[in-house]
Amino acid sequence: MANQSLVTEFLLMGFTDDHDMQIMYFVVFLVIYLLALIGNLLLSVAVILNHHLHAPMYFFLVNLSFCDVCFISTIIPKAMAASLTNNKQISYAGCAAQVFSVFTFAGFELAVLTVMAYDRYVAICHPLQYMLMMNWGACLQMVAASWISTLIHALLHTILTFKLNFCKFSRIEQFFCDVPHLLMISCSDTRVSQILLLVVGITVDLFCSGFIFMSYGYIFSAVLKIPSVQGRYKAFSTCTPHLTVLSLFLISTVLAYMRPQSLSSHTLDLLSAVLYTVFPPLLNPLIYSFRNKNIQMAVWKMLKK
């Protein structure tokens, strides 16, 4: 029982054992993966090559795109390979790397969305002080703090999870290595890991979501003072999709990591995992970037060249 080497690999059971359905999932994942890669890479290259887009808002968008590319690349290629070859095995080290990567990029996603909400708040509510408050030094410090905090958070969860013993039960009812499912198949006492997941999850989610919704509350309050109906509509049509994607990300993450094991179900687990790992990298370029006229012009100019 104490010998952790009893388990050298895990089995990712994924969505189905039916071969035809596995091919269908491979095609769906491939399309989603290519769309996410193309959208995020187009955005990043367009911002980097256009000097007039070298502003704090676009700097944060490039960081978000980089995070999204890494996030979806952590999960989807392995899931596609498993669907195509029907080889569901993942090594012990590969599983640990996947857990670390998922925590890192999911955490940074939430952190950078929080920073972007603050950036929009300053731009709309304090436009005269924007360049002073959002100078390059402040922007670099916020992004660096986001990366450092999420890396520490991910390392802590990964170490605590893989200090557990897994013995012979290596079947994970998910399409990637997910901590809640690893805790389910562990033959060790998992109370410390469960409490840490709950406490850190509640603290981080409440702080970030509270900060974001408070920022958007001030933004909506300022927007309502705009005399032009068209101006108010434009502002609301920009902010509402941001909050929709953010809410979807937060709710699905809470369902995945803070739901009691007694309420766990295979379908709900798969759905919540897809919502917080696959959809944000796919939707973020559309929601945050390609509805922006400056980004549209920069991408079109780049493609013409």
Quick one: pLDDT at residue 193? 81
* Token pair belonging to 27: 């095609």
Quick one: pLDDT at residue 290? 65
With cut-offs at 50, 70 and 90, classify the pLDDT of residue 76: very high
Q: What is the pLDDT of residues 233-290, one digit of tens each?
A: 766 766 777 777 778 788 878 777 776 666 667 777 788 888 888 888 888 888 877 6
Tell whether the model's pLDDT for residue 293 goes beyond 90. Answer: no
241 with 216: CB under 8 angstroms? no
Quick one: pLDDT at residue 206? 84
Tell whether the model's pLDDT for residue 2 goes beyond 50. Answer: no
Higher confidence at residue 31 or residue 287?
Answer: 31
Tell whether the model's pLDDT for residue 5 goes beyond 60. Answer: no
CA 110 to chain centre: 7
Tell whether the model's pLDDT for residue 7 goes beyond 80. Answer: no
CA 173 to chain centre: 21
Quick one: pLDDT at residue 190? 79
Higher confidence at residue 107 or residue 192?
Answer: 107
Quick one: pLDDT at residue 168? 65
Q: What is the pLDDT of residues 110-135, one digit of tens each?
A: 999 999 889 988 988 888 888 889 99
Tell whether the model's pLDDT for residue 140 goes beyond 90. Answer: yes
Q: What percent of the chain has pLDDT over 70?
A: 93
Instruction: Say whether 172 sits in a helix, a strand or coil.
Output: strand
The top-scoring range by mean pLDDT among 49-63, 130-144, 225-239 is: 130-144
205-208: long-range contacts, CB 8 A cutoff, minimum separation 24:
205/110, 205/250, 205/253, 205/254, 208/110, 208/111, 208/113, 208/114
Quick one: pLDDT at residue 3? 44
47 burial level (CB within 10 Å; 0-12, 13-18, 19+): buried
Q: Residue 12 phi/psi, 5° resolution?
A: -90, 105
- Compute the mean pLDDT over every residue in the chain, rounded to the nearest whole number: 84
How confident is the model over 68-82, as a mean pLDDT? 91
Quick one: pLDDT at residue 158? 92
Number of Cβ atoms within 10 Å of the Cβ of 178: 24
Q: What is the pLDDT of residues 9-30, one digit of tens each?
A: 888 887 777 777 888 888 999 9
Quick one: pLDDT at residue 263? 63
Quick one: pLDDT at residue 262? 63
Tell whether the model's pLDDT for residue 42 goes beyond 50. Answer: yes
Unique residue bearing structure tokens 């295979």: 266
**pTM more than 0.75:** yes
